[in-house]
Amino acid sequence: MAKTILRVDDSLMVRQMVSFTLRAAGLEVVEVENGQDALNQLAATKFIPNLMLATESQPEMKLKRKAAAATGWMVKPFDPPKPLGVIAKVLP
């Protein structure tokens, strides 16, 4: 059974590019446009790994992500295979 990834991004092009990479690796991908749509898709979010892909790389933004319960994050732009390595670290 393939693992399912919920992919959230307000940019359709970025969302599709990352989703293509994830699907090519055998993952199932559900795409949504914003955080509210993501919350509507999820239940028991406390135990679900939360990876962020963001444009900001400043230390204060990393602290904000950590406070928001981010399991990990990547900074845009990124090498398309990189999300697979990060996902492999957080999914059993």
Query: Residue-wise pLDDT tens for the chain (92 aa)?
Result: 678 888 888 889 988 988 999 999 999 998 989 888 888 887 776 677 778 788 888 888 878 777 777 777 788 887 878 888 888 888 87
| Pairing relationship of beta strands 4-8 and 51-54 according to DSSP bridges | unpaired
Domains of the chain, CATH where assigned: 4-90 (3.40.50.2300)
Say how far apart CA 56 and CA 62 lie, in whole Å: 8
